[in-house]
A and B are shown apart, each in its own frame.
Chain A
């Protein structure tokens, strides 16, 4: 009701002024009221104070999670043992005493942190050890402790079956290898029953070490060291006396020397009669000579097995030597310079069954040429 009246009044005054303007167009200008007296929204968008500012002061004791500072932007930066929230709220993550401080590494910033000790000022000097809180509580009840210790993470729990399977495989491999070694040692090298257990275990351990990257020689030293180390630990535990340890040591050394003068282990895991370095070098020369003279050609499957047998003769060549010999004499793709790997002048119309035709570029004549290559050379 009132509003409509007011509206009417305003409307009437508007029309009136319009009439006046039209009337006095050439005479005077009239400035009408444009500022509304009330009911305007312009200055009314104020909100309540956000209650910003420090919530804990210098030296106050705070618990983890206590809010120390509410702010817009980082008026104060988070220092030690505190963190900053999404709205720049700073809160404690460790129990301790609030410290407001300056950091010489950032001279223009103010920091707030939590000192874990009452009399320690922040920042802690740059080269001093950090002050850290342990915080975990020991479980006194043995039953509860055992339960907690056995508790598995989800990942560990899901991997159990695979881990068991792996352990079983390892165990089986160990048992198989050791029984194989025992047999060989007893039959071929007449190792006494007393020593055979220790010898086969020793050779198995050397084999696993060599598979992990040791050379056979360093694996032997490592295995001896491992044995002595276990003796040392049993002395520490009180299971052996010092004297017993030293007798066991010397016994083991004599056993080791004796067994090493008889048997040796090859990198591929077979046992062979010990060879002196001279014997090894003569054998090496012999085999390489034989390979060079007889097997440098396109090989038949039978010859290939023979070459592989020669290269892998136990105890003669090292792993890298074996690799290079294999590359030379058993290549997957026989190079052109190997005798018999190139058949010239083949008839393109009538290519034999065991030959593959290949077009090659001859740089001397600068022409393409058809040659044949035996299938055996390309296998």
Chain B
């Protein structure tokens, strides 16, 4: 295998299908710091800004250019799509305006009806119960009537009792 990577005559490029990495395995030693210290260390290291950054991808010159080209193309593509969309919307709007103008001349009553503004939007029901972290499955029982036994048990209160 090593012989295969050593070219005989032509040195300008390497004919090989193997990749070598020199490496040395570090000594593994038991951690001497206690659990509490380790916890603080972990917390501090989690706080460090550099740790939160995504890992920088190292690209060779060729791949960097490819990457930038792809980003540029994506930019151009998005711009074109957006331009197309705005052109479409503009056309739609113009045709609406034209139609309304026509309607104004042909039938003013229908125009009034068509240009009537929608009624006030229905707001969030104020009478509904306060939002909570764990709401009930049925938030409000509108037709609530207490069970009969509660009605029976209920006594009229008198001012004397207080």
Complex contact B1–A337 (CB within 8 A):
no
- Nearest CB of chain A from residue B12's CB, rounded to whole Å: 8
Known contacts A360-B20, A361-B20, A363-B19; decide if A336 and B5 are in contact (CB<8 Å).
Answer: yes
Residue of A nearest to B2 (CB): A344
Complex contact A337–B18 (CB within 8 A):
no
- Among candidates A292, A337, A338, A344, residue contacting B3 with C-beta atoms closer than 8 Å: A344
Query: CA–CA, A149 to B145, complex, Å?
Result: 110
> B residues 1-46 with Cβ under 8 Å of A?
1-3, 5-8, 11, 14, 16-24
Task: Please count the residue pairs between chain A and chain B whose beta carbons lie under 8 angstroms apart in the complex.
Answer: 47
- Among candidates A337, A344, A371, residue contacting B7 with C-beta atoms closer than 8 Å: A337
Query: CA–CA, A368 to B22, complex, Å?
Result: 9
Query: CA–CA, A141 to B5, complex, Å?
Result: 85
Complex contact B20–A365 (CB within 8 A):
no
Majority SS at the chain A contact face = loop
- When distances are taken between beta carbons in the complex, the residues of chain B under 8 Å from A342 are 2, 5-6
- When distances are taken between beta carbons in the complex, the residues of chain A under 8 Å from B6 are 337, 339, 342
- When distances are taken between beta carbons in the complex, the residues of chain A under 8 Å from B19 are 362-364
Complex contact A362–B11 (CB within 8 A):
no
- When distances are taken between beta carbons in the complex, the residues of chain B under 8 Å from A336 are 5, 20
How many chain B residues sit at the interface, stated as a range, is 10 to 19
Complex contact A363–B18 (CB within 8 A):
yes
Query: CA–CA, A358 to B24, complex, Å?
Result: 10
Q: A323-339: contact bitstring with B at CB < 8 Å (1 yes, 0 no)? A: 00000000000001111
- When distances are taken between beta carbons in the complex, the residues of chain A under 8 Å from B2 are 342, 344, 371
* Most chain B CB inside 10 Å of its own CB: which residue of A296, A336, A342, A371: A336
Residue of B nearest to A363 (CB): B19
Residue of B nearest to A373 (CB): B22
Residue of B nearest to A339 (CB): B6
- When distances are taken between beta carbons in the complex, the residues of chain B under 8 Å from A365 are 1
- Nearest CB of chain A from residue B17's CB, rounded to whole Å: 6
> B residues 53-83 with Cβ under 8 Å of A?
none
- When distances are taken between beta carbons in the complex, the residues of chain A under 8 Å from B21 are 360-361, 363
Query: CA–CA, A371 to B7, complex, Å?
Result: 18
- When distances are taken between beta carbons in the complex, the residues of chain B under 8 Å from A309 are none
Instruction: Tell me the B residues contacting A by CB distance below 8 Å.
Output: 1-3, 5-8, 11, 14, 16-24
Q: List 24 A-B contacts (CB under 8 A).
A: A336-B5, A337-B5, A337-B6, A337-B7, A337-B11, A337-B16, A338-B11, A339-B7, A339-B11, A342-B6, A344-B2, A359-B23, A360-B22, A360-B23, A361-B21, A361-B23, A362-B19, A363-B18, A363-B19, A363-B21, A364-B17, A364-B18, A368-B23, A371-B2
